[in-house]
Structure 1
Amino acid sequence: MTHHSSNNNNNQSNKNQNNNSQVLSETHEVFNQLHPLENQNIYTQDTALQEAVARNGGSWANEELSQFGKLTGSSDVIEWGFLANKHKPSFKTHDRFGRRVDQVDFHPSYHHLMQQSIEHGLHSSPWTHPQSGAHVARAAKTYMQSQVEAGHGCPITMTFACTPTFLKQPNVAKEWLPKIHSTHYDPSNKPYFEKSGLTIGMGMTEKQGGSDVRANTTRATPVAQPGPGELYQLVGHKWFLSAPMCDGFLVLAQAEGGLSCFLVPRWQPDGTRNPLHVQQLKDKMGNVSNASSEVEFRGAVAWLIGDEGRGVANILEMVALTRFDCMIGSSAGMRQAVSQIIHHAQHRSVFGNTLIDQPLMQNVLADLALESEAAMSLSFRMARALDNMATDEHEALLLRIGTAVGKYWICKRTPAHAYEAMECIGGAAVMEDCIMPRLYREAPINAIWEGSGNVQCLDVLRAIQKSPKTLDALLHELNSAHGKNSDFDLAFNQANNMLKDLSSFESQGRIIVEKLATLLQASVLINAGNEMVSDLFCAARLNPDAGNLFGTIPTQNINKFNLKDYISRASL
């Protein structure tokens, strides 16, 4: 019996030790953490976006946009964005038999994103289905898709933007545009005439010139006779050719008549490979899912688009639309950041309260949300101008100057916005398994591409000098909001005085364009009719008492409105 009792005691002792070990191994319970922001409808849950679509003429597309919002907010599509950036494109010059192939390979997730964009018409819908609000509806889809992943948007944007330039050369447009506008995505590397869907890239930049494209040295020689629509051979290089897997590229080269625009196909009309040789892919800090390259033209054949010597004017019609998409893309990056930080603040507690209930955090969150809404609202105002430019001179003139102003300011504000948003989340925001580092690396891209800050400011000056009516159109647009907000009126009067003498524009261009940009954003918000939004924005951007950093909305406006109400408006 004693021996039996001893065994029982030993068993109990072992059991207690096992229980203690289990308790000790459970170091903590996971709490005060949130779940990923996914499986949301990023259209129906975005009040500001729905309002912008409605006031700019795109309400007819609400059902379609709602379906797309559900799709782009799904966990599967969000995962594609992560995978496309984790697995960068790879490149090989030759196959194993020694044949030149210039092949760029992508992770399947990249192709999924491309297919989704093309099947939903992000590359062509305003051209294939022109109607009132067509550009607005397409901008809304682009805005939502870009929140998921920005890199694949580069070839989508260039394919969208190429149509006006192609239309300058009817024989080329007749053969190429039907396949460019197709909603079939075909990533295969084969001749354009064997494919049912085509994508278009662009190459303007050379080593020695950068933004000064007139310094380009690539030479173009007629194969037979010169002239629009004829074949030429190109010899030279491009330091930056975007999306080298595309089927054709609009490039600039020096012909006898001056700098001219050409369409360089990836394959020659006879079915042989065009000697457009990719030297390497660019190793970029951001936009890594998208392939960018250096190339050499070693007698590559190309069609002249338009007249010789008109290259800059002809390709700039494409560039104007890519700059518009830069506005949309940067606005989308801000929106994704705002969605993430508000979601975080709603579920994370510090010092006894949720972050969203902390007064200083409310100021920061509201200010970042204001920046996001103002950027998106101005972008959609330009989308409306795109829709109406053919029949309304004011809209055409406003689009000309407003795109340059908006591209400069929205893209310039995005990097600071991305950083401040990361700080709202804290240390977790620098971890590569969340989207914030990608937003931060992506943020400077649009500010640099398609014309950097100084180029955009000088473009504003060029527009005013070439056609003073553009400035009149901008002032008319701003004047529509005059008398509705005292901060706006004061800033508008100051800008008016500044614009009376443009002799110092080249050195003071950034100051002038910044003032015009914030006024233009404010006018859009004021005319939208939501006093809480417009008053808070004017206080944060135009009131002399506001600080230079985010989170400095003056006290009097905080007391006038409940910041948490505005933050709730901006949440998903």
Structure 2
Amino acid sequence: MATRGEQEVRAPRIPAQQGIAPERSGGTHAVENQPPPLAGFDALACDPALTDAVAREGAGDALAHLGTLGTLVASPEAREHARLADTHPPVLRTHDRYGHRIDEVEYHPSWHWLMGRSVGWGLHGRPWLAAPGDGAHVARAAGFYLMSQLEAGHCCPISMSYAAVPALRADPDLAAAYVPGLQTQVYEFGLTDPSRKAGLLAGMSMTEKQGGSDVRAGSTTAAPVADGTYRLTGHKWFTSAPMNDLFLTLAQAPGGLTCFVLPRVLPDGTRNAIHLQRLKDKLGNRSNASAEIEYTGATGWRLGDEGRGVATIIEMVSMTRLDCVLGSAAVVRAALSEAAHHVAHRRAFGSVVGETPLMQTVIADLALESEAATALGIRLAGAVDRGEHAFLRLALPASKYLVCKRAPAAVAEALECLGGNGYVEESGMPRLYREAPLNSIWEGSGNVTALDVLRAVTREPDSVEAVLAEIDLAGGSDEWFDRGVHELRMELRSREERRARRLAEMFALCLQGSLLLRFAPVEVSSAFVSSRFLPDGPWRTSGTLPAESHIEALTARVTPRR
């Protein structure tokens, strides 16, 4: 779907990479034994974990639509836009040539191409228009997963816009002002009065330098004004996508920590008093601008009651945690595709690398990691569709903990499959490697997320019952899995803070095992359980699967093909 933001974006020139005659320079530069470019493959055909889960969770009718998106994601044009957006990071423009303060961020055209596609496919606020249980959130999760494989940076504003809708619904007036714009499939870049724009994007601005994850330590103040608005003053340490149209933020009002909505442009057309101090120089996610911002009497509208800021914004945090799981599953899948493709076309020591038993075992192990993460992520999206609030309260933080923690190790292993070629920027693997740790930090790093699991277990017993009921659906199907579930139940008796990480990991691992035992082919479920539920502790490194695992079937299942 063409959108306003796409119309002026020119596609980059995609260099021809196949059928090029080798340069004649003494015969020393003939290119041999290199895999063809990974482009033009069928992104859904090599990902049955995704297609099966989408159908199982109630969005089977969307698979044809998703197939079209998968074709786009795997195209040479899209992959080049992803490379360019990462290569040319955004630039902060605090002032115009005349000295006027403008606080704008300039992006490469490929960023706008990516944003136009994701918004055009309705991956932001669109699913909230649908009736509960019709599969809209599952279909959206699958689309987000596909676009995250292509380029993760632009998915940050997409995710925040998706997550802002349920939070804004806490106030009918604010919802009426902003939610319709967040649900259109039109990408319109630029700072303008939101009521005059065809499409909107939202963000959130919570952390401060002295508090980090401890948002209650924030010192930004909000002073009430007679017209019902507030004036916010303070410094926010990390605000991603600062060119979005509106932001949910936390500040100390007279009644305590409170949530506010701040538009970049006010209804009278003037810029709100939100100043961009600098952009962060980040490890990864480089296409996406993340800024330090200053509120100097910025105008905000209260969302929820004073003193209830965390409770108001927590639903937005929960939905972004869902996208953390999906984004980590996506980066693992993208790295797996690169590795499986490379070894399928590379020869060494007289054999195709991908046909050697040890390399097959490594790829198969990475495939298990990918399949388990994907199945779990789509199951969570299904729970959003069906309103399974008790299940999500515990399953979301536990899943975020494990899936996001596993992503860096899986991507590093996939990079190694390419050898030295994988360590070179041109391969694309370093971009995936830099991206891999992000989701484990965003919306609560490991300790914060594990403590949230412990909090749910202690205070909300309904959430424990819901998750255990899901896990128990696979009870009796595998002896080692049953032993793992028994150990989880024993761990639940402790509830000690120092063991919170272990508890979070066990919950998520048992959920993955249950899903695969019930729905995946036996070659997947048996290999996963026999390697992840070892009686002497967790698995160590990739490629250490038991001898009886169906290695060739696992590898063939996930290798990209045209």
The CA distance in 2 between the partners of 1:314 and 1:361, in whole Å, is 49
Secondary structure at 1:162's aligned position in 2? helix
Secondary structure at 1:458's aligned position in 2? helix
8 Å contact 2:187–2:199 — kept in the other structure? Answer: yes
- Find the partner of 1:302 among 283, 300, 316: 300
Q: Which amino acid aligns with 2:207?
A: T
Secondary structure at 1:406's aligned position in 2? helix
Q: Which amino acid aligns with 1:140?
A: A
Q: Which amino acid aligns with 1:161?
A: A
- The answer to whether residue 429 in structure 2 is matched with residue 436 in structure 1 is yes
Counterpart of 1:460 in structure 2 is 453
8 Å contact 1:356–1:564 — kept in the other structure? Answer: no
Cα offset, 1:529, TM superposition:
4.5
Moved more, 490-499 or 74-83: 490-499
8 Å contact 2:126–2:182 — kept in the other structure? Answer: no
Secondary structure at 2:216's aligned position in 1? helix
Moved more, 247-256 or 46-55: 46-55
Counterpart of 2:94 in structure 1 is 93
The CA distance in 2 between the partners of 1:405 and 1:56, in whole Å, is 20
CA-atom RMSD in angstroms: 1.4
| Structure 2 segments unaligned to the other structure (5+ residues) | 1-22
Secondary structure at 2:175's aligned position in 1? helix
Taking the TM superposition and a 5 Å limit, the aligned residue runs for 1:26-175 are 26-130=27-131, 131-175=133-177
Moved more, 491-500 or 128-137: 128-137
Counterpart of 1:564 in structure 2 is 552
Counterpart of 2:509 in structure 1 is 518
The CA distance in 2 between the partners of 1:529 and 1:295, in whole Å, is 47
8 Å contact 1:126–1:138 — kept in the other structure? Answer: yes
Counterpart of 1:362 in structure 2 is 360
8 Å contact 1:43–1:144 — kept in the other structure? Answer: no
- Find the partner of 1:270 among 264, 268, 279: 268
Counterpart of 1:447 in structure 2 is 440
Counterpart of 1:255 in structure 2 is 253
Deviations 1:248-280 (A, max 9, x none): 110000001110000011012221111100000
Cα offset, 1:500, TM superposition:
2.0
Secondary structure at 1:297's aligned position in 2? strand
The CA distance in 2 between the partners of 1:160 and 1:272, in whole Å, is 26
Secondary structure at 1:293's aligned position in 2? strand
Secondary structure at 1:278's aligned position in 2? strand
The CA distance in 2 between the partners of 1:33 and 1:44, in whole Å, is 24
The CA distance in 2 between the partners of 1:437 and 1:373, in whole Å, is 22
Deviations 1:25-48 (A, max 9, x none): 112532211111101231244222
The CA distance in 1 between the partners of 2:506 and 2:195, in whole Å, is 49
Counterpart of 2:393 in structure 1 is 400
- Find the partner of 2:179 among 170, 177, 180: 177
- Find the partner of 2:492 among 491, 496, 499: 499
Cα offset, 1:445, TM superposition:
0.6
% same residue: 48
Cα offset, 1:194, TM superposition:
2.1
Q: 1:23 to 1:403 in 2, by over 3 A?
A: closer
The CA distance in 1 between the partners of 2:473 and 2:509, in whole Å, is 15
8 Å contact 1:206–1:237 — kept in the other structure? Answer: yes
Q: Which amino acid aligns with 2:535?
A: P
Deviations 1:57-113 (A, max 9, x none): 110112111111111111101111000000010011110111110010000000000
Cα offset, 1:180, TM superposition:
1.3
8 Å contact 1:48–1:570 — kept in the other structure? Answer: no
Aligned length: 536
Q: 1:124 to 1:501 in 2, by over 3 A?
A: same
Moved more, 395-404 or 107-116: 395-404
Cα offset, 1:238, TM superposition:
0.3
Counterpart of 1:422 in structure 2 is 415
Q: 1:23 to 1:213 in 2, by over 3 A?
A: closer
Deviations 1:397-439 (A, max 9, x none): 1111111001011111111111111111100001111210000
Cα offset, 1:24, TM superposition:
7.7
Larger Rg computed on CA atoms: 1
Moved more, 193-202 or 539-548: 539-548
The CA distance in 1 between the partners of 2:137 and 2:531, in whole Å, is 30
| Structure 1 segments unaligned to the other structure (5+ residues) | 1-21, 390-394
Q: Which amino acid aligns with 1:179?
A: G
The CA distance in 1 between the partners of 2:224 and 2:520, in whole Å, is 58
- The answer to whether residue 379 in structure 2 is matched with residue 388 in structure 1 is no
Secondary structure at 1:280's aligned position in 2? strand
- Find the partner of 1:478 among 465, 471, 481: 471
Deviations 1:136-157 (A, max 9, x none): 1001100111100000000000
Cα offset, 1:299, TM superposition:
0.2
The CA distance in 2 between the partners of 1:196 and 1:362, in whole Å, is 50
Cα offset, 1:56, TM superposition:
1.0
The CA distance in 2 between the partners of 1:304 and 1:24, in whole Å, is 69
Q: Which amino acid aligns with 2:499?
A: Q
8 Å contact 2:126–2:184 — kept in the other structure? Answer: no
Deviations 1:453-502 (A, max 9, x none): 00110101111222111111111111111110111011111111121232
TM-score by length of 2: 0.93
Q: Which amino acid aligns with 2:554?
A: Y
Secondary structure at 2:265's aligned position in 1? coil
Counterpart of 2:530 in structure 1 is 539
Moved more, 524-533 or 441-450: 524-533
The CA distance in 2 between the partners of 1:529 and 1:435, in whole Å, is 30
Counterpart of 1:377 in structure 2 is 375
The CA distance in 1 between the partners of 2:459 and 2:56, in whole Å, is 31
The CA distance in 1 between the partners of 2:488 and 2:134, in whole Å, is 33
8 Å contact 1:41–1:71 — kept in the other structure? Answer: no
8 Å contact 2:218–2:252 — kept in the other structure? Answer: yes
Counterpart of 1:319 in structure 2 is 317
The CA distance in 2 between the partners of 1:369 and 1:77, in whole Å, is 24
The CA distance in 2 between the partners of 1:180 and 1:362, in whole Å, is 45
The CA distance in 1 between the partners of 2:368 and 2:399, in whole Å, is 16
TM-score by length of 1: 0.92
Deviations 1:522-557 (A, max 9, x none): 1011111421111110012112367411111122x2
